[in-house]
Homo-oligomer: A and B are copies of this chain.
Amino acid sequence: MTVRAAVAGASGYAGGELLRLLIGHPEVEIGALTGNANAGQPLGGLQPHLPPLADRVLEPTTTEVLRGHDVVFLALPHGQSAAVARELGPDVLVVDCGADFRLRSAGDWERFYGSPHAGTWPYGLPELPGGRERLRSTKRIAVPGCYPTAVSLALFPAYAAGLAEPEAVVVAASGTSGAGKAAKPHLLGSEVMGSMSPYGVGGEHRHTPEMMQNLSAAAGEPVSVSFTPTLAPMPRGILATCSAKAKPGTTADDVRAAYEKALHDEPFVRLLPEGQWPATAAVYGSNAAQIQVALDTSAGRIIAISAIDNLTKGTAGGAVQSMNIALGLPEDLGLSTIGVAP
């Protein structure tokens, strides 16, 4: 089975990463590539790391251009996906890398995004309980946010096993590509190299309700998340340091056993051997997530740490993984757990 895939928003970082993976996917043929401001330009100057597509010219993001594909990936700014998806019809697999269809609560959407809620699509994090079932044969996939991917993978085993109190504290460091390719002064190399800084502090970041949605579902009770994102001087990668109080009586063995059970068969999530800790460099450019967990008996907290590549497992790789499931292909087709290091 060869599917023909279009990528809307091919000049950005998510679009470029989708193309990097799709070029190597044995069952995908790359169809239309679209851009907005960059329509009419060859891809070679915009994504110089993708020589096989250097001569492809970006088309405008219209229904006419996107029609006639088996799969359409949307890597568009928030709020633009609903209109495009509606026009594409129910037989096309639409994979939305934006936020529009991730949240189940319309109230959360409106509070964090300030616009009407477009709806909820099957959520593309196969590792969550019931995650794969939701994706089989679906024609619509909401790709998770990069932070929620890292945080949910780190904490869901503790919540699914009933080991953690429902108040999580998360501090995550992200590479700058998570902030996109639009030129803003605070994202200049001169500003970010040599600097760590927080943003969206105090529950303001839009990924917060998505994390709570995932962890609450795993826990079977409402879980709050205090989330602080920070910008780190690296192009890619998320390191999420997550913790929650352990429920009374929880032992280090309980914690280890819960994580081994939850992650044992996962093709892309690896619980590291005890004593080894995640590093974003080890998953650079790969679809892998590294996880480690510890029980801080003095503070009474479970500390779970994950490392992912925000553009791969955190966006484009996760999207391809979910597409594979939806299409009935092997889940790891065209994806790798091998990082580019050092």
Contact = CB atoms under 8 A, between A and B. Distances in A.
Given A183-B187, A188-B189, A338-B20, A225 B299 contact: yes
Given A189-B192, A279-B197, A307-B196, A341 B16 contact: yes
B194 A281 contact: yes
A322 interface: no
A277 interface: yes
A240 to B, nearest CB: 10
Interface in A176-195: 176-177, 179, 181-185, 187-195
Given A187-B188, A236-B342, A303-B201, A281 B195 contact: yes
A228 B201 contact: no
A273 B194 contact: no
Interface stretch (A41-49, A96-104, A156-164): A41-49
A270 interface: yes
A243 interface: yes
Contact of A226 (B47, B195, B299, B336): B299
A173 B208 CA distance: 21
A197 to B, nearest CB: 4
A229 to B, nearest CB: 10
A31 interface: no
A116 interface: no
A46 B279 CA distance: 13
A57 interface: no
A232 B235 contact: no
Given A224-B299, A305-B201, A235 B194 contact: yes
Given A173-B230, A226-B303, 14 more contacts: A48-B282, A49-B282, A171-B228, A171-B241, A183-B183, A189-B233, A195-B280, A197-B277, A202-B294, A203-B298, A226-B296, A226-B299, A226-B301, A230-B239
A285 interface: yes
What class of interface size applies to chain A in its complex with B?
35 or more
Contacts of A333: none
Which 10 A-B residue pairings sit nearest by Cβ, starting from the closest? Answer: A49-B339, A195-B281, A189-B192, A171-B171, A226-B299, A197-B279, A202-B294, A49-B341, A183-B183, A285-B340
Interface string A197-233: 1110111000010000000000000001110101011
18 contacts: A20-B338, A49-B284, A49-B338, A49-B340, A49-B341, A169-B299, A173-B173, A177-B342, A188-B189, A189-B233, A202-B296, A226-B243, A226-B299, A228-B243, A228-B303, A228-B305, A230-B241, A285-B340
A221 to B, nearest CB: 15
Contacts of A237: 194-196
B202 A295 contact: yes
Contacts of A52: 337-338
